Homo-oligomer: A and B are copies of this chain.
Amino acid sequence: PEPATPRIVTEIPGPKSRQLIKELGKIQNVGAVHFFCDYDVSCGNYLVDVDGNVMLDLFTQISSLPLGYNHPAMIKAVTDPSNLSTFVNRPALGIYPPADWVGRLQAALLSVAPPKMHHVQTMACGACSVEHGMKAMFIKFMTERRGSATLTPEEMSSAKEGQPPGCPNLAVLSFNNSFHGRTMGCLGITHSKYIHKLDLPVPDWPVARFPELKYPLDDHVRENQEEERRCLAMVEELIDTWNRKGLPVAAVAVEPIQGEGGDNMASRDFFQGLRDITNKCGIGLLVDEVQTGCGATGLFWAHEHFRLSDTPDVVTFSKKMLTGGFFSKESFVPKDGFRVFNTWVGDPSKAALLEAVVNVIKGDNLLDRVKVTGQHLLNGLKQMQGKYPGLISKARGLGTHCAIDFKDAASRDKTIAKLRERGVHTGSCGAATLRLRPALILENKHVDIFMESFDRVLANM
């Protein structure tokens, strides 16, 4: 059963973690390793490290656990004899899918597809989902330009070489403070921290400003509307400029909430504006829900909050979805095989786990729970910012996907460390933001444990 409270018995990382970090350091870089965990005994919302520290986990493996640790339904999926061959025999899914694959796609993915999206392609992680989602958009863009013309020998031979006309000069527009992954194409649309791209030759593509909204939102309605209009105008201008300089923008990529870059949010109007601009220009709109998808915002997909008049063209997912992949409009499904393709194109064993997760989300009404718990969490954060006004601000979020800003990085980092000493594990993002990424099973009682510790830590800052 899930522990009732956190329990801290050593500093973190403790002696056993430090020993293991030392050993792992002989094998690879361990600059990012924080502590080692005992996943056998971790349970529900509680993560247990190898030194026996029991932490309330509000970061959940960089936002990648839908149901916390060792959920009975996931244990059942792994131990179910009818799933055994799915875990043992990973197929080349794009050529030789298993007998139950269509049913699995329907139960695990189409049953939770974004409104009006009926096509899905599995992948294995967030990066390949975004890379292949972009490929689908490039292919659509060029197929339309080519029209009914057949491929020329020159297009074919130059494509093999990696040169125009077969490999055209095309760009994807993205936003400042975005994060979409760490392979080369994904890095071309990622602009959050310099260390992600330093020393790497990445595509130099247009970057628009993402709205920087003033909080509380109710007190800055007009300023924020103007800010969003400026950002949208910049998008239009960049598309125009880059088209004219011979590097056409084939698509725009955006996160519903910029999860790594500082939990930056924008309004429905902004996203509707992006949809309108991209439709008007005949280019694709990729909404990257790798971090926001799978219910954390209280709706299954964060972009559902925007009630767009037309669906995005591509919606990517991974993390809590356990499998990577993307939904797309039918018109963005390549007409030929072997274009959005690789050896595995996903993993049926992850889809089997996702099917179990989706059934729990539906059966336990977890989206409703997330809405309730999220409201409680956001209320608490707002109360805290009222109590510590010089220190924290901009409490914000959807569902339990919440964040709050600190006056500077140092106070943010110190707060996270002090929270951990009290057994509450949280995350950071952006310049001075504390981010909360709990599992969908979080309850008000867990929020209360966090909020009591948060209050005490802030009081001592």
Binding site for B on A (CB under 8 A): 20, 23-24, 26-40, 42, 47, 50, 61-62, 64-65, 69-71, 74-75, 78-79, 84-92, 94-99, 101-102, 105-106, 110, 118-121, 124-128, 131-132, 135, 138-139, 141-143, 151, 155-157, 159-163, 166-171, 181-188, 191-205, 207, 318-319, 322, 333-344, 349, 353
Contacts and interface: CB of A to CB of B under 8 A. Distances in A.
Which 6 pairs, one residue from A and one from B, show the smallest C-beta to C-beta distance? A31-B337, A184-B185, A32-B337, A142-B199, A159-B194, A61-B92
Given A61-B92, A127-B128, A98 B203 contact: no
A167 B198 contact: yes
Given A127-B183, A343-B125, A31 B194 contact: no
A434 to B, nearest CB: 17
- Interface of A, helix, strand, loop or mixed by DSSP: loop
The complex is assembled from copies of this chain, and their number is 2
A88 B70 contact: yes
B91 A37 contact: yes
A93 B185 CA distance: 23
A94 B318 CA distance: 17
Given A37-B99, A195-B339, A91 B61 contact: yes
24 contacts: A26-B118, A32-B341, A34-B95, A35-B96, A39-B89, A39-B91, A61-B95, A64-B92, A64-B343, A69-B89, A78-B78, A79-B84, A124-B124, A155-B194, A159-B197, A159-B198, A162-B187, A162-B205, A166-B194, A166-B199, A167-B201, A167-B202, A169-B201, A195-B339
Contact of A199 (B92, B132, B143, B186): B143
A254 B277 CA distance: 43
A356 to B, nearest CB: 10
Contacts of A24: 97, 101-102, 105
B84 A78 contact: yes
A264 to B, nearest CB: 15
